[in-house]
Structure 1
Amino acid sequence: MDTEQHTSHSSEIAILWRGDAASRGDATPQNSRFVRVFEALEASGIEAVPVVYDETFAESVRDQLLTMDGVLVWVDPIHQGKTRTALDPLLREVAAKGPMKRPWVSAHPDVILKMGVKDVLYRTRHLGWGADTHRYATAEAFRAEFPSRLRAGGPRVLKQNRGNGGQGVWKVEALSDADTTVRVLHALRGSQPEEIPLEVFMARCEPYFGWGGCIIDQAFQPRLPEGMIRCYVSGAKVAGFGHQLIKALIPPPPQGPDSPEAQPGPRIMHGPDAPQFQALRRLMEDEWIPQLMQVLTIDDASLPVIWDADFLYGPRDADGADSYVLCEINASSCFAIPDEAPAAIARTVRERVRRTMESEAGR
C-alpha cells in the first residue's frame, strides 16, 4: 500500500470540543477557536471535521466518531459544573472498536488518568523536576499526616487530583506552631486569603477524595512571583513555551482581587527554539519525557498529540542556574498554544495515521 498517498487523501480526523446543540449545528473549522489546527491539518493533507459534544446528544457524537480515523479531544475535566464522567467511557468505546482500534483517540482517557492528573507529581517526584511531594489516598491519612507536615515544613500547596483553572488548589500556611488556625488561599481567580481553623479547612477538602481519589501535597515554591513556564509538547517533542506572571496563590493587592493589579500578566508565547528555554527543552526531550513514559508505562504512540507541563522556578544551583519544579501536566484540554504548535500537531497526527495505515497493510 502507498501509505503516503493514503494518508494524504483519505484520512479524516475529528476535532472535538464541548458545546450545545446550537453550536454543534453551526460549527465550522473557520468559526472555531481551533481554526489554525484545522488549517495545519489541511496543509498536511488530512481532512479535519468539527465535532461538538454534550451529554444530551452523546449518541450522535459516538456514531460520528466511529466513522473517523482519529479523534483530537479538547474537553476540560470540569467546565461549568460538567465533568467528563460520560465522555470518557464514550471515547474508550470508540477507541476500542475494530481490530486495529480505529479511530485512535488523543488524549485517550486512560492516558489522561496517568499523566493529566496531579497524582503524576507524586509518581514522578524522584525525577529531576520533582519536589517535596506527598500523597493522601484517604481522608483518614490526610487528617493524620497533614497537620504535622504543615507545621514542620513551611507553607504547603494542596491539589485535588483532577481539576483545572485553579479549582481545588490551595496554599496553606500555619500561623504558629501552637495555633490551630491556618491561612489559606484558593488558586481560583478572585479568591481572598482566609484565616480559619485547620480542621474546618481539612473538612472542606475531604470531598476531593470522592471526585479525584487523592490529594497531592507539595512544598510551596517561593519563586512563584517570577512566573510559570508552560512547556508545550506534541508527542515526545517540545512544540513551544509560554511564560506568564501568574497571580494564583499570591495574596491580592490592597486594591482587591478584582482590581487590574491582581490580574495575571499575559502569557508570552515562544517557539521551541527560544534561547532562554533551551536548557528546559533538553531536559524534557532527553531525560524527563522518556523517564515519564517509563514510570507511567506510556509508549510514544499513546502520548497526547498536544499536552503541556507547567513549571515553576526552583532553587538556583551553585552556579546560579535555574532549576524547575513541575506543578501540573495538562493533557485533556491544552489550549491556547504557541504559533508553532499547530504545525507540530499536524506532523504528529500525520505520523500516527501513517503508522496505523502501515499496521493495517501488514495484517
Structure 2
Amino acid sequence: MDTERHPSRRHIVAILSRGDAAARRDTTAQNSRFVRVFEALAAAGIEARPVIYDETFADAVRDQLLGVDGVLVWVDPIHQGKTREALDPLLRDVAAQGPWVSAHPDVILKMGVKEVLYRTRHLGWGADTHRYDTAASFRAEFPSRLRVNGPRVLKQNRGNGGQGVWKVEALSNADAMVRVLHAQRGSMPEEMPLDALIARCEPYFGWGGCIIDQAFQPRLPDGMIRCYMSGAKVAGFGQQRIKALIPPPPEGPDSPEAQPGPRIMHGPDAPQLQALRRSMEDEWTPQMMETLGIAETSLPVIWDADFLYGPRDAAGADTYVLCEINASSCFAIPEEAPAAIARTVKLRLSLTEKAGFDG
C-alpha cells in the first residue's frame, strides 16, 4: 500500500446494542457493559462509539452507522417481545453502503440459528438431528420418532434464553400423552396430549421457518461448555452446571437449588479443554465454514458454540455435542476475549480498507 497516497487514519467502529431513549442519551464507553471491549479497541488504536438501537429511532441509528467504518452488533433475536425484524434489513442496508458489519445478518441466518445443528450434523460435533420445514411434516413425522428413539429436544430456529426449546418424553402408560419441560428459567414439567404440544409449537414456523429435533443428551447434568470464538480462533471457554431441561427440585423452580451454577471462565489455553480447542480450530470451524459457505473474514468477531457432553469414547474420553451457536449477542465473555475481539476487528478493518484501495 502506498502510505504517502493513503496515510493511515484512526478507524471508527460503532458498538450497537438495544436500549430505550434514556439509554441512548446516557450510555458512554465508560458506563457501558462493553467497557472492556471499548478499552481493548482503544488500545489497538480504534475509536469505538456506543450506539443504542430501538425501532422508534431507527432512522437516527442508521445515520450514525453510515458514519463509521465498522459496526459490532450485540442484539438478541428476541428481547422483551421485540425481535430483529426491523434491525436486520437496516444492517444489510448499512453494510451495502460501505461499513463492515459483524455479525452480518446473513451470516447469523447461516450459523446463529438452530438449523445449523441439522446442516452440520455430519461434523464431529453432530448428533441424531432432524429438521421439520412445515407444520404438516412436523405433525406427520415427530410422533413416531419420539416413540422409537426416546426423549427428544425441540428447538425453534431463532431464539435465546431457552425460549422455544422443549424436552419431550412419551409417557409409557398413556397413549399419545407426553411430558414436556420448557428450557426457559422457572418452567415446570407438564403432561399433555402430544397434539397439544404440536399445536403449541406450530407458530415457530412463522418466525423461524423450521423446527429442529435433537436427541436428548443424558449427560446434561454434567454441564455445558461454551467455546468462545473470535473469527476462527478460540478466545476462551465457559463451564457451567446448567438447569435448563432438568426437572426442578422439590423446593420449586425459583428456589436456590434450581438455579444454574456460576459460569467458570477460562482462557483459550485452559489445559483441560485443549482437545476441544483443537477440534474447533482445526476441524469443526473450517468444516462448518465449508458446509455453510462462510468465508473466514465473515465469521463474527465474537461468537460461541455451546457443547453438551456426549457419550464417552472407547478410551473413556469425553465427546461433545453441539447444542447451539450464539452469533447475535454473545456476552458475557472471558477476560481474554476483548483483546481477541480487538485483534480481529483491526485485521478486518485493514482488509476492508485494502480492498477499497485496490478496487
TM bracket, shorter-chain basis: over 0.9
> How big is the shift at 1:9?
3.9
Distance 1:106 1:353, change over 3 A: same
Is residue 2:106 matched to residue 1:110?
A: yes
> How big is the shift at 1:3?
6.7
Residues 314-325 of structure 1 mapped to structure 2, 5 A cutoff = 314-325=310-321
> How big is the shift at 1:123?
0.2
Match of 2:35 in 1: 35
Match of 1:154 in 2: 150
Whole-Å separation in 1 of the counterparts to 2:313 and 2:91: 44
Aligned match for 1:331, one of 327, 330, 339: 327
Aligned match for 2:265, one of 261, 266, 269: 269
Spell out, residue by residue over 1:161-195, the C-alpha distance to the aligned partner (whole angstroms, 9 max, x if none). Answer: 00000000000000117621100000000000001
Is residue 2:146 matched to residue 1:139?
A: no
Contact preservation (8 Å) 1:240, 1:340 = yes
Distance 1:36 1:3, change over 3 A: farther
In terms of mean alpha carbon deviation, does 168-177 or 71-80 score higher? 168-177
Match of 1:201 in 2: 197
> How big is the shift at 1:4?
12
Spell out, residue by residue over 1:310-358, the C-alpha distance to the aligned partner (whole angstroms, 9 max, x if none). Answer: 0000000111001000000000000000000000000000000111121
Q: Please give the TM-score of this superposition, normalised by the length of structure 2.
A: 0.98
Match of 1:49 in 2: 49
Unmatched 5+ stretches in structure 2:
none
Residues matched between the structures, number: 359
Is residue 2:62 matched to residue 1:62?
A: yes
Amino acid at match of 1:84: R
Spell out, residue by residue over 1:83-117, the C-alpha distance to the aligned partner (whole angstroms, 9 max, x if none). Answer: 000000000000001xxxx2010000000000000
Aligned match for 2:222, one of 223, 226, 234: 226
Q: Tell me the SS of whatever aligns to 1:10.
A: coil
Residues 76-225 of structure 1 mapped to structure 2, 5 A cutoff = 76-97=76-97, 102-176=98-172, 179-225=175-221
Contact preservation (8 Å) 1:247, 1:263 = yes
Whole-Å separation in 2 of the counterparts to 1:247 and 1:9: 49
Whole-Å separation in 1 of the counterparts to 2:6 and 2:242: 45
Spell out, residue by residue over 1:251-292, the C-alpha distance to the aligned partner (whole angstroms, 9 max, x if none). Answer: 000000000000000000000000111000000000000000
Spell out, residue by residue over 1:8-51, the C-alpha distance to the aligned partner (whole angstroms, 9 max, x if none). Answer: 74200000000011110111000000000000000000000000
Whole-Å separation in 1 of the counterparts to 2:4 and 2:322: 38
Contact preservation (8 Å) 1:7, 1:45 = no
Amino acid at match of 1:354: S
Match of 1:73 in 2: 73
Contact preservation (8 Å) 1:9, 1:45 = no
Whole-Å separation in 2 of the counterparts to 1:285 and 1:159: 26
Spell out, residue by residue over 1:130-149, the C-alpha distance to the aligned partner (whole angstroms, 9 max, x if none). Answer: 00000000000001000000
Unmatched 5+ stretches in structure 1:
none
Amino acid at match of 1:164: N
Amino acid at match of 2:28: T
> How big is the shift at 1:7?
9.3
Q: Tell me the SS of whatever aligns to 1:283.
A: helix
Whole-Å separation in 1 of the counterparts to 2:104 and 2:209: 19
Distance 1:296 1:302, change over 3 A: same
Whole-Å separation in 2 of the counterparts to 1:226 and 1:318: 19
Whole-Å separation in 1 of the counterparts to 2:40 and 2:8: 13
Match of 1:243 in 2: 239
Aligned match for 1:290, one of 286, 291, 294: 286
> How big is the shift at 1:5?
12
Whole-Å separation in 2 of the counterparts to 1:294 and 1:181: 41
Contact preservation (8 Å) 1:3, 1:354 = no
